[in-house]
Structures are given as C-alpha cells and as structure tokens.
Amino acid sequence: MASASPIAPSPTSARRLIDSHGRVIHDLRVSITDRCNYKCVYCRTGELGAQYPELGIEEYLRLIKLFVNLGIEKVRITGGEPLLRRGLIELIEQLAQLRTLAGEPLDLALTTNGHLLDNLAAPLKAAGLNRVTVSMDAVDAPTFERITRVPGSFKNVLAGIRAARAAGLAPVKINCVLLRGFNDNQIEGFAHFAREEDVVVRFIEFMPLEEGRLWTPEIVVPLAEIVARIGRAMPLVPLPPREPSETARRYTFPDGVGEIGIIAPVSQAFCGACSRVRLTSDGKIRTCLFSQVEHDLYGRMRAGEDETALSNYIVQTIYGKEARHHIGEPEFLKPSRSMVHIGG
C-alpha cells in the first residue's frame, strides 16, 4: 500500500519552512553576483564576466526578509565573488538589523576567495558580519596560482585570511576542494596550515558542477582517503557534530590545536539532513545544488506580487525540495548552471 503523502503546509499559517520530506529549512545562501576575479581551473572555463543579471542591493534585502520571516536563521552571502559587489557593506549592515522568528540576530556569514579581503575584513566585521569562509585550494603559492590562474593571488589571500582573524571574524574557515592530480599533494600541508594559522580547514569533495567537463568519480578525493592520509602524518581526534544538519565531519589533533573538517557530498551524501536553500544572483530559488528547475521569485516580485503572495510561493517551492542528489548514478543530470553561477 502506498504511504500517505504529507500534507502541504498552509502557506499563510506557515511559520517555518518545511519540505515534503520533513526537513526544516533554516539556512539561506544568497549569491549577489556571478562575476568572479578568479578563473579556478576546476570551476571556470577561463571566461570572466557575469552570465546572469544582478539585482539591486535593496531587492536582495527585500527577498531575504521574506525568508527570514519564514524561519531562516543563517544567511550566507556568496557568488561569484561577493567582494566584487558594490553595496556589500550596506547589505550586511541591513541584514545585521534583522531578527529571526525567535528574536535573535541572524547568523551572518560570507564565502569569498579572499583576494580583496585584506581591506574589507574590518569594515565587514563593523557592519555586522559574524563569520567568513575563504576558499583556498593550495598552501604553496605556485600550486595556488596555477589553480586560480591569477599571478600574485596567494599573497592577497593569505593577507585576507590574517586580516579576517585580526578583525575577529572567527572562526575563519578555509574551504579546499581537492582534485586528484591537481592539488591532492596539499592535504598534509593544510593540516599544518590549520594549526599554524589557527583556522578551520575544510576539505570538500569535488562535485560535478564545473563549467567544463572535468568531473569523473576518479578525480574525487574521498573523505576516507583524506582522513587516512592526515592520520598517517598526525593522529586525528574526531569531534562531535554541533548540530544535526552539520555537513562537515570534524577532527582535531591530540593537543587540541587546529581543526580539520571534511565535507563529503559525493562519497557520504548528507541530503537527509539538508537544511539549505539558495537564491541565485538573478533572484531564482534553487532548492538543491543539483536542481533541474529554478523558481523565479524575483520575477514575481517585479510583477508586483505582495509579501503574502511571495511568501506563499516560497513556502510551496520549498515544500517541493528534492529528496537527494543523484551524483554517480546513471540518471544523474548535470544542472544547467555551474557552481559559480548558482552561488557556492
């Protein structure tokens, strides 16, 4: 006998965003541009520039407020490269004024390549940003710059990381995407880097979200291999998850100095605990990184729909969030947008 499907929430009474699989969505990622000043070899084909229109800062703010009034508690600003976006500081200032349904300030984070962070870390902190994640795929300058394809980028990013720490954007997290044959020789170096720079290093398995066609199962460096390799160099001590929807498996070292996290969406998918939804730079809702459909929230706003209608649309859209991704399965279809154009 087929099991009864859950009843869709009544939009106007909804106080939280819940999908048809019972997951509560409280984490919103917002891309504010799909422009980027890096051309990372595993992400871009080499062309710079935006493919999708950007909204005005006030328009992002209006859309984000709708989500916050429906139970979003964490907002992460991303891109493209969000530090390229004029009006970023004002956006953070405004977001810092918002309150969750429980009356708390939002957990406000930003993901950046760090190239412009040296000068912006202190103003971002003063505007109300809580945390920053810096993407960094190698700890030696030549490998780093072979990946970003921007000469001189390593020293900028290192300065950015140090400025973020000095500004109190703690804990500074470093995201490293590992690709076999590109930068998997950096694993042990990153363990030392985490300890020396007092940052949390998180290795992320490479997902099929690149502009070109690089992804194969073999190029992914899986969680188990990363743990084994660091463990051979230095013993690792597992840390407990801080919340059920935590995506990273966390480890420290016997002396408690330094933290390593591994995010394994490919080898150990965590879709069952997903609490995320994304808004693209052109105002489309994506309920999953691998969604085949997008939901044009901004189009409805431009057409004059009021806050109630827009909120109802968000509730219904999130109710239909996909159960899981299908990476590595025969029916897997690559989404039409790549990571840089979705918002990582």
Q: Could you list the residues that contact ligand SAM (CB under 6 A)?
A: 36, 43, 78-79, 81, 111-113, 135, 175, 177, 204, 206-207, 209-210, 339-340, 344
In which element (H, E) is residue 27 found?
strand 27-31
CB nearer to ligand SAM: pick between 54 and 210: 210
CB of 229 to ligand SAM, least distance (A): 19
State in angstroms the smallest separation of the CB of 156 from ligand SAM: 12
SS3 call for 295:
strand
Nearer to ligand SAM, 129 or 207 (CB): 207
**Closest separation in Å from C-beta 134 to ligand SAM:** 7
C-beta of residue 73 within 8 angstroms of C-beta of residue 104: yes
CA-to-CA separations, 44 to 38, 39, 100, 210, 250, in angstroms, rounded:
8, 5, 36, 7, 29
Task: Choose between 70 and 177: whose C-beta lies nearer to ligand SAM.
Answer: 177
DSSP character string of 226-284: HHHHHHHHS--EEE--SSTT--EEEEE-TT---EEEEE-TTTS--GGG--EEEE-TTSE
Nearer to ligand SAM, 73 or 81 (CB): 81
Q: Which residues contact 55 (CB under 8 A, 6 or more apart)?
A: 32, 63, 281, 282, 283, 298
Q: HEC profile for 192-219?
A: HHHHHHCCEEEEEECCCCCCCCCCCHHH
Residue of closest CB approach to ligand SAM: 344
Angle at 239 between CA 235 and CA 245, to 5 degrees: 140
Nearer to ligand SAM, 175 or 317 (CB): 175
Spatial separation of the C-alpha atoms in residues 33 and 55, rounded to whole Å: 8
Q: Which is nearer to ligand SAM, 9 or 335 (CB)?
A: 335
Residue 211 CB, shortest distance to ligand SAM, in Å, is 9
The Cα 202–Cα 189 span in angstroms is 13
Q: How far is the CB of 139 from ligand SAM (least distance, A)?
A: 15
Indicate the residue among 138 and 209 with the shorter CB distance to ligand SAM: 209
Please give the helix or strand (H or E) that residue 223 lies within, else none.
helix 223-233
In whole angstroms, the minimum distance from the beta carbon of 306 to ligand SAM comes to 32
Structure-token pair, residue 203: 């290795």
Minimum separation from the CB atom of position 172 to ligand SAM (A): 13
